Amino acid sequence: MTEALHRTTPLLSIASMLLISLLTRCESPKPSERPPFEKPKFIIQLDNTRLLVSEVARDLDQPWEVAWGADDHLWFTEKKGNVMRMNPTTGQVKKVLNIPEVYAGGNTPGLLGLALHPDFNNEPYVYMHYNYLDSAMVNEFDRRGNPNYVGARLVRYKYSFQEDTLINPEPILPKIPARMAHNGSRLTISDDSKLFFAIGDVTNDRYAQTALGLPGKVLRMNLDGSVPDDNPIPGSYFYSMGHRNPQGLVAANGKIYSSEHGPNNDDEINLIVPGGNYGWPFVEGYCDKENEMAFCDSISVNEPIYTWTPTIAPAGLDFYHHSAIPEWKNHLMLTTLKGRALWLFELNDSGEKIINERIYLQKQFGRLRDLCVSPGGDVYVITSNSDWHIPRYEWMYDNVPEEGNDRVLKISVLRKHEEESFNHLTVFTEASEPIPVFVQDNTIPDITGALPYRTNCASCHLPEGEGISNFTPPLLETETVADKTKLIETTLFGMSGEIEVKGKKYNDVMPGFGASLSNQELKEILNYVRTSLNNYSDSISIAEIEKIRNSRTF
C-alpha cells in the first residue's frame, strides 16, 4: 500500500498541474497596461478596427520632421537646430545634436528635412537640410533689392552609438540658395537606396523653370552624395522641376509622391517622375485656365493627382502598407496645417491615381506637421502649434491645444482585451467633410470682385483689407493701392523683402497671381480693393493689366 501510494502521488501531482494550466488558459486575459508615458486621448472607430490615439511626448519646440529609424527609435528635428531621438518603449527623449549655425528666423528657415540610412545599424548616417546666415553672400538680393543672407546646406552626419550623439558632419550640398520662405523641405530614401530631396523655389519662381538651379526641384543622389548614373541629366542631381514649396515627400511602391503648397489656390499631391515638369509658376494645379493652356501646349506638364482650393496647407506625407490597420492599407497619409487634420488617400492598383479619401483627427490637436509609420504598423504624428503661424493667424485657429506646446502622437490598434480599460474615452469616426479654412466672416457682399477677393486675398489681408499686425500690410489708403501701376505689378508678380506701409515695417512673401488669375479676374479684384475697400474713383482696365503683364515673362 505504501509503495503504491508513493507511485501514484507524482501522477496525481502532474494531473493537478495540467488541470490548473488548462483552467488558467481559459481565464480571460487581463487588460494590458500601456506604458505610463502614453497618455490616451480618444479612440478612432474604423470599419472594423479601433485605434487608440495617445500623446507620447510634449513640449517640443517647433518640430518639423519625424522619422522612424532602423535603430527602432523615433527621430525628429526642431527648427531651431535640435535633433531629437526618442525611445518608443520607455518614452525617453534625448537631444543628440544641436547645430549652432542654424538660422530659424522669418517664416520657415531652420533645421528642416531629415532621413536615416536604411541600413542604419551598419551605416549610421543621418541626412539633414538646414538654413544658416551667410554674411559672404554680398551679391544676393531679393526682388526689392534688399540683401539676402540666408543660405542652406544638405549635410550627412554619423551617429555614434557609444556617445549617443551625431558626429562628423559631411557637406553634400554645402551652398544652396535659400530665403525667408519656400525652403521646402523633405528628404526620403527609395527602395533602391537613392536619397530624394525636395526643395522650394525660395520665393523666386524663376528657379523653378530652369534645370540648372537647385531650388524648385526634386533632387536625386546616391547615399554617399554622388550623382546617380541614371539621373535625367548626366552629372546633375536634377530629377524634376516646376515645384513651388514641397512640404511632404515619400518613396512608396517604387514611386515618389510629394505634397506641395500652392499660393492661395491649388495645393497639390504629385506623383514625381524622372524629368517631370510640374508647371510652377506658369501652371497651378491642372492645365485648366486659358493662360495655363498656352504653356501646357508648348511643354509637357505633369498634372497633380489631387488638388485643394481653398488651400489646406498639406505637409508631411507617408504611406501605409501594414496589415495592422487593414482599412488604411495602400493609402498615402498626409498631415495638414490649415486643415488641421490627417488625410488618407487610397491609391489604385498602379499607384498612379487616388480613388478615395478619408479625414481624421480634424481640429483635435491643431496643426499637424509630419508623420511616420513604425515597422509594427503604429503611426506617429507631430503637431505644429508653436511656430510663427498661430499668433499671426489667431483669428483662424480654434480648438488649438493651449497646454503642452507641440507633441508627438501615437496611433495604434486597440486590442479587444484593452477596450474595457479605455471605454471612458470619446470615440471619433471619419470626418464627413473638411473644415472650412480661412473663414473669418462668411458674409460676402454682393459686389463684383468681393468673392474672388475673399478667395485669393482675404486669408492674409483679412476681409475688410485691414491686414494683420506685424505680418501682412493693410490695403486701406496705402501708397501701393493708390498707385495703379504699382498695385497691378505687385498683384501680378508678387513681392518679397522688407517694406514700410503707413509707418510700419513688414517682411514677408506675397505670391504673384499672374499665372493663376485671368485679366478679368484681376480687374475685378483690384477694382474691388480700390473702389469698395477704398474710395478711389478711377478704375483699372484690362488693357492696363495686359500691358504690365506683357512687360515681363513669368
CA distances from 502 to 123, 139, 467, 529 (A): 56, 30, 12, 17
**Residue 242 grid coordinates:** 516646376
Which set of grid coordinates corresponds to residue 388?
510663427
User: Could you tell me if 93 and 153 lie in one domain?
Assistant: yes
Q: Are residues 295 and 367 in the same domain?
A: yes
Length, in residues, of the chain:
554
Task: Tell me, yes or no, whether 333 lies in a domain.
Answer: yes
pLDDT of residue 264: 78
The C-alpha cell 489656390 sits at 265
The reported pLDDT for the residue numbered 18 is: 44
Helix (H, G, I), strand (E, B) or coil at 454: helix
Domain that holds residue 334: 41-428
SS (H, E, C) 479-527: HHHHCHHHHHHHHHHCEEEEEEECCEEEEEEECCCCCCCCHHHHHHHHH
DSSP letter, residue 354:
E
Contacts of 233 (CB under 8 A, 6+ apart): 211
Q: How far apart are CA 122 and CA 117, in angstroms?
A: 9
pLDDT of residue 389: 81
Q: How many CB atoms lie within 10 A of CB 350?
A: 9
Segment holding 294, helix H or strand E: helix 290-298
Are 371 and 479 in a shared domain? no
Low pLDDT (below 70) residues in the chain: 1-32, 135-148, 404, 438-442, 553-554
Whether residue 374 is found in the same domain as residue 270: yes
Q: Which of 397, 428, 459 is the last residue of a domain?
A: 428
CATH for 356: 2.120.10.30
Q: What angle do CA 325, 361, 245 make, to 5 degrees?
A: 100
What is d(CA 271, CA 259) in angstroms, rounded to the nearest whole number?
Answer: 9
3-state secondary structure of 16: helix
At 276, list the grid cell: 517631370
Condensed to tens digits (0 to 9), the pLDDT of residues 303-313 reads 999 999 888 99
Sheet of strand 238-241: strand arrangement: 186-189, 194-199, 217-222, 238-241, 276-277
Does any domain span residue 440? no
Question: Could you give the 3-state DSSP secondary structure of residue 57?
Answer: strand
The confidence score (pLDDT) of residue 388 equals 80
* Grid cell in block for residue 213: 538651379
The pLDDT of residue 29: 38
Does the residue 15 lie in any domain? no
Q: Quick one: pLDDT at residue 553?
A: 56
CA-to-CA separations, 419 to 28, 145, 205, 427, 481, in angstroms, rounded: 13, 62, 52, 12, 61
How many domains, the chain? 2
Please state at what angle helix 542-549 crosses helix 484-493, rounded to 10 degrees.
60
Single-letter amino acid, residue 397:
Y
Q: Who contacts 229 (Cβ-Cβ below 8 Å, separation ≥6)?
A: none
Could you tell me if residue 437 is inside a domain? no
Judgement on whether residues 468 and 405 belong to the same structural domain of the protein: no
- State the CATH number of the domain containing residue 507: 1.10.760.10
Kindly give the pairing relationship between strand 354-360 and strand 427-428.
unpaired
Pair 332, 461 in one domain: no
Do 524 and 416 lie in a common domain? no
Domain check: are 416 and 519 in the same one? Answer: no
Q: Both 94 and 217 in a single domain?
A: yes
Q: What is the pLDDT of residue 12?
A: 43
Q: Is residue 1 part of a domain?
A: no
Q: Are residues 274 and 369 both part of a single domain?
A: yes
368 & 454 share domain: no
pLDDT of residue 220: 98
**Does residue 405 share a domain with residue 479?**
no
Asked if residue 14 is part of any domain, the answer here is no
Q: Would you say residue 402 lies in a domain?
A: yes
Asked if residue 419 is part of any domain, the answer here is yes
pLDDT of residue 404: 67
